[in-house]
Structure 1
Amino acid sequence: MTTLPPLPMTRPKLTSLARQKLPCSPTTAPRSQLIKEKNDIDHYLEENFKGLSKEEVAAYRNSYKKNIYVDMLRDGYHKSFTELFSLMEQWDAVRDPARFGSLFLQRPLEEQRDKLDHFYHYLTRAEVAERKEYFEDVYNNLYALACYFNNSEDRWVRNHFFERCFKIAQLIKMDGGKKEAEAHGNMGLLFEEDGQLLEAAEHYEVFHQLTHGRMWKDETGRFLNLLACESLLRTYRLLSDKMLENKKYKQAIRILIKAAEIAKEGNDRKMEGEASYYLGLAHLAAGEYETALTVLNTYSKISTELDDDLSLGRAYEAIAKVLQSQGEMTEAIKYLKKVVKIARNNFQNLDVVRASTMLGDIYNEKSLEDPQWKIYLKIQSIWKKN
């Protein structure tokens, strides 16, 4: 998801006036100081603003958040007020020190006027569009809020607007399903970040189905179908990792075969190679060595085609593990030496150490004679000490 460029904020009269008011003391200030501050503000208003109404004068005395509330209600945006009021209650709950302790440093919303301005601007525009049943405009305004709050501190606010966008997208009928597809992609991300991988996969699958055969692009110019493929593959891989941890090899292989089919559809050779790699490792974990070799050889061929040395080194290392499991030590050594060479040429020191450790283990276990075996054993020894 891409953050949209900032738009000029629409501010009603009270809020605009309130932005000019003198800085106020913290609420913990002594009563005498607050009274003096009120008198200072009254004097400031009398000297600088003639003919203000009582309502306008109140804008200087009220908090900025309260002025936003007043403006929404006065201008008839009751639905926006209700939604913002609910969000502010959640905001206060998130900042509750009893839940997060003194280390939770999120600033009060009162100190973040730009955020309040964004709430007013986009919520009221969305409400106007919804009254007219311009649902695409509703979606765009809510999506703009989701983009604005796309940061670690306010992610829960972003997620709220993701969910709102998802509901509105079901009502949009004139775009061929593009907004609905985007909304499913965003909901998949929401669940993926929360660790709910099955729910994420369900949304990504619909995202993939809706974008199949379409040339739709996102704001950055990326094809939505390719993004759907990548998201689905990532989630399938995470699901397969959990399955392999629980020794559910058949389930893991089944879902990775599905991932490989989707990768081919995406017309991205690198993505196809990655899918082959993880499928090969799953077959290795299941003890299906011949199948693992076939799949991993596909990965090595793709890596060679792409002139991707790092991927090729990873393919050779995985193939060596399969050969080692089959007892084909001489062949395994050949591939590991290739890994060491590729890693050295690309300054991948950890890969050199890992492959050398595997070689050292093989030489040590089988007492194989080779001019370099002592070097590998030495690297292995140094690595284990560190």
Structure 2
Amino acid sequence: MTTLPPLPMTRPKLTSVARQKLPCVPSTIPRSVWIKEKDDIDHYLEVNFKGLSKEEVAAYRNSYKKSICVDMLRDGYHKSFTELFALMEKWDALREAARLRSLSWLQRPLEDQPEKLGHFYHHLTRAEAAERQEHFEEVYDNLYALACYFNNSEDKWVRNHFYERCFKIAQRIKIDGGKKEAEAHAHMGLLFEEDGQLLEAAEHYEAFHQLTQGRIWKDETGRFLNLLACESLLRTYRLLSDKMLENKEYKQAIRILIKAFEIAKEGSDKKMEGEASYYLGLAHLAAEEYEAALRVLNTYSKISIDLEDDLGLGRAYEAIAKVLQSQGKMTEANKYLQKVVEIARNNFQSLDVVRASTMLGDIYNEKGHYNKASEYFQQAFDTTAKLTDMGNMDETKVHYGIAKAHQIMLTINNYIESEDFTGLDYLLSWKEKRSSIAPHQIIGGSRKSSLGSLYQIPENLKEELNGFPDNRKNET
């Protein structure tokens, strides 16, 4: 067998020089000898290859992460190094925890993300240099830049870290009238709100609102900070009131929503004022304070009309209908719900059509007008069928089925109570064919109404009544 000569192995120039200077030797050589020979290699490279310093050689040898840490320490940015090192340790700890939950792919190693390391180095060192000179605004700007850069779902904990640092630095800025402090309160409010700590969030948003009152400060997008403070407070107050209503703490919920309504009026934003009045009205309804609920909800409907906000008007009318229904004023509630259906159809709001139609069906069902109830329940069911909303479809199907059952039950009872051969003939025909039977009209709530007065049969039931003889509907 012919033995082929070994293939020549190409090596980089620096590697070849290093191999000549430091050939492969047994691993029993002491560590001190290895270090001395490494220093000899560095010196050799620096002398024989002009323009390549020891630091540049180290840059090729070390990782980007290690090079950044070395540069921080070498240039005297010890605070920046300490903060970065702590963040890297936490980063690795989070990756390990994710790995144990089989989610390790959600967080890449920091060493594999040089752009993030570069941002850390740039802004942390600039912030430390500015802090030494007590230029706290520049410190804030650099820390805020880092918070914005890490404002994503993967690195949100890094953003929160720099939000907290911004808040501490903002307390030391005295030359801007408190604008940076107001912004820092807004960031801390968002941090607590996302964490579900609503009381702490409300405290920061209240401070944000107080600092921006009477100011014309704007954010980077051109929005007034005072308006943002009002919106943030309203959102937090509403979330707090929802929890209070769940716990049946009605007075506290109403109190905090009244406060939200006053803040909305101060913000001079009619849409925001309308939203606040809507939630306040719902709280009064939950507390069974119907007159107060109607008063506030009528305010919302007027604001919606002025703003030509059809969707807001539909919400107002639906809430008013619920109040009237709770008061037993079914006729008035019926009128408002029909307006809701009309508005929702004109604006292609299918779910609003479903809710309003279901409420109308309930009203007619309670009053014993089962034919009309079936019509509205079928309207709700057909709408959910078009949306392929299985949850709502099953619910509306049950309502529709119950109303139709009431129709048949009432008609059969009337035929039984008529006690004549014609009624008996109808019952035997129905039992034989098991098709729907034409319902009777109820006059004055009495079941023993005239058998000659029948409900008008809706179009959607005609197919089911084909088996029933039409020429016998008015015999009795």
Q: TM-score range by the shorter chain?
A: 0.7 to 0.9
CA distance 1:44–1:148, shift in 2 (3 Å): farther
User: How far 1:102 moved relative to its partner?
Assistant: 2.2
User: How far 1:384 moved relative to its partner?
Assistant: 4.4
User: How far 1:94 moved relative to its partner?
Assistant: 1.0
Which residue matches 1:3? Answer: none
Cα-to-partner distance string for 1:243-287 (whole Å, 9 max, x where unaligned): 000000000000000000000000000000000000000000000
Distance in 2 (CA, whole Å) between partners of 1:37 and 1:133 is 55
Distance in 2 (CA, whole Å) between partners of 1:238 and 1:98 is 31
Identity %: 78
Q: Provide the secondary structure at the position in 1 that maps to 2:210.
A: helix
Which residue matches 1:20? Answer: none
User: How far 1:57 moved relative to its partner?
Assistant: 0.8
Q: Read off the aligned partner of 1:285 and give its amino acid letter.
A: A
- Residue 290 (str. 1) matches residue 294 (str. 2): no
Distance in 2 (CA, whole Å) between partners of 1:250 and 1:170 is 36
- Residue 385 (str. 1) matches residue 394 (str. 2): yes
CA distance 1:174–1:89, shift in 2 (3 Å): same
Distance in 1 (CA, whole Å) between partners of 2:147 and 2:324 is 50
Which residue matches 1:215? Answer: 216
Q: Read off the aligned partner of 1:42 and give its amino acid letter.
A: T
Cα-to-partner distance string for 1:334-382 (whole Å, 9 max, x where unaligned): 0000000000000111110110001011111112488x54320223455
Distance in 1 (CA, whole Å) between partners of 2:369 and 2:296 is 29
User: How far 1:179 moved relative to its partner?
Assistant: 0.3
CA distance 1:384–1:130, shift in 2 (3 Å): same
Give 1:184-199 correspondences, 5 Å limit. Answer: 184-199=185-200
Contact 1:41–1:60 under 8 Å retained in 2 = no
CA distance 1:254–1:170, shift in 2 (3 Å): same
Contact 1:260–1:276 under 8 Å retained in 2 = yes
- Residue 42 (str. 1) matches residue 15 (str. 2): yes
User: How far 1:103 moved relative to its partner?
Assistant: 2.1
User: How far 1:42 moved relative to its partner?
Assistant: 3.1
Contact 1:185–1:228 under 8 Å retained in 2 = yes
Between 1 and 2, higher relative CO (CA 8 Å, sep ≥ 6) is seen in 1
Q: Provide the secondary structure at the position in 2 that maps to 1:150.
A: coil
Structure 2 length-normalised TM = 0.70
User: How far 1:157 moved relative to its partner?
Assistant: 0.3
Which residue matches 1:270? Answer: 271
Contact 2:170–2:181 under 8 Å retained in 1 = yes
- Residue 320 (str. 1) matches residue 321 (str. 2): yes
* Number of residues of Structure 1 aligned to a counterpart in Structure 2: 349
Contact 2:353–2:380 under 8 Å retained in 1 = no
User: How far 1:78 moved relative to its partner?
Assistant: 0.7
Which residue matches 1:352? Answer: 353
Which residue matches 1:64? Answer: 64
CA distance 1:38–1:359, shift in 2 (3 Å): farther
Contact 1:119–1:145 under 8 Å retained in 2 = yes
Distance in 2 (CA, whole Å) between partners of 1:109 and 1:314 is 49
CA distance 1:279–1:104, shift in 2 (3 Å): farther
CA distance 1:145–1:135, shift in 2 (3 Å): same
Cα-to-partner distance string for 1:174-225 (whole Å, 9 max, x where unaligned): 0000000000000000000000000000000000000000000000000000
Give 1:24-173 correspondences, 5 Å limit. Answer: 42=15, 50-97=50-97, 100-105=100-105, 106-173=107-174
Pick the structure with greater CA Rg.
Answer: 2
Q: Provide the secondary structure at the position in 2 that maps to 1:96.
A: helix
Distance in 1 (CA, whole Å) between partners of 2:332 and 2:289 is 18
Contiguous gaps of at least 5 residues in structure 1: 1-35
Cα-to-partner distance string for 1:128-148 (whole Å, 9 max, x where unaligned): 100000001100000000000
Which residue matches 1:367? Answer: 368
User: How far 1:58 moved relative to its partner?
Assistant: 1.5
Distance in 2 (CA, whole Å) between partners of 1:37 and 1:365 is 92
Distance in 2 (CA, whole Å) between partners of 1:54 and 1:316 is 78
Distance in 1 (CA, whole Å) between partners of 2:61 and 2:304 is 67
Distance in 2 (CA, whole Å) between partners of 1:350 and 1:171 is 52
Q: Larger deviation: 53-62 or 140-149?
A: 53-62
Q: Cα RMSD (Å) of the superposition?
A: 2.1
CA distance 1:167–1:115, shift in 2 (3 Å): same
User: How far 1:290 moved relative to its partner?
Assistant: 0.4
Contact 1:253–1:283 under 8 Å retained in 2 = yes
Contact 2:238–2:257 under 8 Å retained in 1 = yes
Distance in 1 (CA, whole Å) between partners of 2:257 and 2:295 is 15
User: How far 1:41 moved relative to its partner?
Assistant: 6.5
Which residue matches 2:184? Answer: 183
Contiguous gaps of at least 5 residues in structure 2: 1-8, 19-44, 383-391, 396-476
Q: Read off the aligned partner of 1:344 and give its amino acid letter.
A: R
User: How far 1:56 moved relative to its partner?
Assistant: 1.8
Distance in 2 (CA, whole Å) between partners of 1:212 and 1:298 is 26
